[in-house]
Structure 1
Amino acid sequence: MSNKELPEKWQQSAKVIKAVQIAFDMDTKLQYSIRRSALDKGISPSEQIRHLLELPTHKKPKRPRLTVSLSSEDYQQLGERYQIPADQQLEIKKSVVEELTQFALKSEFNKSE
């Protein structure tokens, strides 16, 4: 099926599928500098790299979020930590968000002292 046969709303997704992600092996300090610059601008490191290379970037910002991959064993361990059954993943996620929020608030408080 060619792009012309795809529904119009799917054609943009087809372009994205053809993109190839590449990784750069760089000194940790250089990576940190690029990541920090992106963070200061409120954009992703990949958007910062595209900006530095003068490639087109997304005009509207994407929803900022942090991600982590959790295995069933991780949910088991977190469930024990928060005293929540491991199969209640949404409740565990809420507890994780609360813990991360407390960490961030504490970090900001310590910086301002």
Structure 2
Amino acid sequence: MANKPDWSKEEQAVQAVQMAFDLSNDIQRAFRVSAAIQNMSTSDMVRKVLELPYQKTRARPRLTITLKDEDFELLARKYGLDPQDRAIIRQRVSEDLQVFARNYLTESE
């Protein structure tokens, strides 16, 4: 097999150990805010503070949320859509999040 895929990154990921720390809300907020201001993920901010290698900017900046079927039903009702039309629901949620961010940034100035 001459074109054998390189699995080294996957093997490294399997060998990595995820650590969680129970810290106060204020400390966690400080890391989240500092990371956001510097356009970094929170975990990269922790790595920076610990003087470990980290990505200078987010590879794929995005917000995530886990939605259950009931959530899609509530959102569909809110937008007057079919709960199964998840692509349109996602689009409408994205629009609402953008409106919130624009209003928030305007109010903060």
Query: What corresponds to 1:72 in structure 2?
Result: 69
Aligned partner of residue 17 in structure 2, secondary structure: coil
Q: What does 1:10-49 correspond to in 2, within 5 Å? A: 10-49=7-46
**Higher relative contact order (CA closer than 8 Å, sequence separation 6+):** 2
Point out where structure 2 has 5 or more consecutive residues left out of the alignment: none
Aligned-partner Cα distance in 2 for 1:59–1:12: 19
Letter in 1 for 2:94: V
Higher helix share: 1
Residues 9-36 of structure 1: CA deviation (Å, up to 9, x unaligned): x321221122121111111111111111
Alpha-carbon RMSD: 1.5
Distance apart, 1:110 and its partner CA? 1.3
Question: TM-score when scaled to structure 2?
Answer: 0.89
Report the CA distance shift for 1:60/1:27 in structure 2 as closer, same or farther (over 3 A). closer
Q: Is the alpha carbon distance of 1:36 and 1:59 closer, same or farther for their aligned partners in structure 2, counting shifts above 3 Å?
A: closer
Residue correspondences, number: 106
Consecutive unaligned residues of structure 1, counting only runs of 5 or more, are: 1-5
Scaled by the length of structure 1, the TM-score of the pair is: 0.86
Same amino acid, percent of matched pairs: 34
